[in-house]
């Protein structure tokens, strides 16, 4: 708006400047028109790319919750009857997975993570997990170790169609979903693309008031039209920058709580819910 007001004021109070602008009418219009198409394309690609990252992160978290619920159900049905303590320990690790992954994505301090871990774990498990750098992966590895050792007491052993095989498949799916979330977190849209988009947007904003002035707009009209158009285009660019970082937009607190409740719900259904015995 300030630039648009300055151009209009200079054209009105400095005749030579006004004549120079009006004499470049074709050039200003051509410059503004030439920049509009690539600017719209860049903004569209930026918004689509950012939105796809957000949707992919949401889908990955949804898959994590589903696989965690299914894994907790497998642990309760197959592992707890033959190794109760191992099954409960695996469920405790699984219930804190979402909270620890959230803390990693949002760069939360160790104190908040240790508070969550100390609520569900104790002894050697708490000490070992507290010393790990990549705690989400360490949790999955620990659950794999617990289930593998627990099912050693089962006569079926290990195979893809055994309870241990089913648990291993769910753990693999959890790792894949976590890898998707971490990939989105660690690989933002290339900064060169963002810088180029900002430069094109700056050039377009520079020529926009001159083009409007050559079309016969008044000073107030030039300022208003420039403000509205800049608000629209710069707003799209800002929205793209915001949704580029899904970890700051997704309700990770609620998603982590939902994952924990999904694990808890399987054990409550089996034990406290009084599920009927199989005839």
User: What does the pLDDT average to over 142-161?
Assistant: 73
pLDDT surpasses 70 at 211: yes
Lowest-confidence range among 29-43, 44-58, 149-163, 197-211? 149-163
Q: At what angle do helices 25-74 and 15-23 cross, to 10 degrees?
A: 70
pTM: 0.76
pLDDT surpasses 70 at 274: no
Q: Which residue has the higher pLDDT, 55 or 244?
A: 55
Lowest-confidence range among 37-51, 98-112, 260-274? 260-274
Hey, how many other C-beta atoms are within 10 angstroms of the C-beta on 208?
24
Summarised one tens digit per residue, pLDDT across range 76-120 is: 888 888 888 888 999 999 999 999 999 888 888 888 888 888 888
pLDDT value for 93: 93
pLDDT value for 272: 45
User: What does the pLDDT average to over 55-65?
Assistant: 91
User: What does the pLDDT average to over 28-56?
Assistant: 76
Burial of 187 (0-12, 13-18, 19+ CB in 10 A): exposed
Taking the C-alpha atoms of residue 69 and residue 158, their distance in angstroms, rounded to an integer, is: 22
Taking the C-alpha atoms of residue 223 and residue 3, their distance in angstroms, rounded to an integer, is: 8
**Are 73 and 267 within 8 A, CB to CB?**
no
pLDDT value for 153: 59
Quick one: which of 214, 243, 225, 260 has its CA closest to 96?
A: 260
pLDDT value for 37: 75
Quick one: which of 44, 42, 65, 43 has its CA closest to 250?
A: 65
pLDDT surpasses 90 at 245: no
pLDDT value for 4: 79
pLDDT value for 279: 66
Domain ranges of the chain: 2-268
Contacts for 92 with CB less than 8 Å, ≥ 6 apart: 120, 121
């Amino acid at each position: 708006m300030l630039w648009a007001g300055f151009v209009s004021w200079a054209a009105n109070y400095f005749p030579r400047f006004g004549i120079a602008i009006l004499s470049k009418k074709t050039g200003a219009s051509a410059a503004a028109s030439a920049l509009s198409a690539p600017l719209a394309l860049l903004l569209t690609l930026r918004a689509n790319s950012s939105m796809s990252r957000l949707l992919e992160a949401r889908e990955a978290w949804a898959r994590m919750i589903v696989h965690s619920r299914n894994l907790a159900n497998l642990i309760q049905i197959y592992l707890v009857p033959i190794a109760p303590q191992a099954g409960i320990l695996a469920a405790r690790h699984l219930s804190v997975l979402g909270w620890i992954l959230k803390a990693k994505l949002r760069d939360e301090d160790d104190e908040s993570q240790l508070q969550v871990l100390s609520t569900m774990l104790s002894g050697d498990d708490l000490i070992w997990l507290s010393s790990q750098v990549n705690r989400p992966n360490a949790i999955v590895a620990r659950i794999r170790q617990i289930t593998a050792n627990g099912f050693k007491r089962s006569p079926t052993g290990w195979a893809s169609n055994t309870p241990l095989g089913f648990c291993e498949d769910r753990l693999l799916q959890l790792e894949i979903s976590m890898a998707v979330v971490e990939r989105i977190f660690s690989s933002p849209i290339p900064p060169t693309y963002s810088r180029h988009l900002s430069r094109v947007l700056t050039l377009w904003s520079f020529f926009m008031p001159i083009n409007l002035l050559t079309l016969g707009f008044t000073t107030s009209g030039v300022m208003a039209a420039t403000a509205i158009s800049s608000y629209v285009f710069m707003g799209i660019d800002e929205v793209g920058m915001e949704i580029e970082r899904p970890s700051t937009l997704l309700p990770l607190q609620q998603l982590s709580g939902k994952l924990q409740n999904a694990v808890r719900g399987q054990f409550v259904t089996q034990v406290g819910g009084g599920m009927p015995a199989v005839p």
